[in-house]
Structure 1
Amino acid sequence: MRTLGDDLKRGDVILANHPKAGGSHLPDLTVITPVFYEDSIKPVFFVANRGHHADIGGISPGSMPPHSKYLWQEGASFKSFKIVKAGEFQEEELTAALMAPAQYPGCTGTRLLQDNLSDLKAQIAANHKGIQLVSELIDQYGLDVVQAYMGHIQHNAEVAVREMLKIIGKKAKGI
Structure 2
Amino acid sequence: MDSKGEAITVNIFDAIKEFYGLTLVDLAVLFRENFGVMYYARNVRITDRRAYQFASTLRLPVELFKNTTTDDFDQIEFGKKLFLKNNDIEEIRNAMPDWKARLAKMLAQLYLRCPMDTAKELSRMDRFYWSRGDNMDRLNATERLFVSTAEKQIRNESHPILLGVSYFLDNKTASHFNLRQSRSGRYD
Same topology, TM > 0.5? no
What's the TM-score, normalizing by structure 2? 0.24
Structure whose CA Rg is larger:
1
What's the TM-score, normalizing by structure 1? 0.25
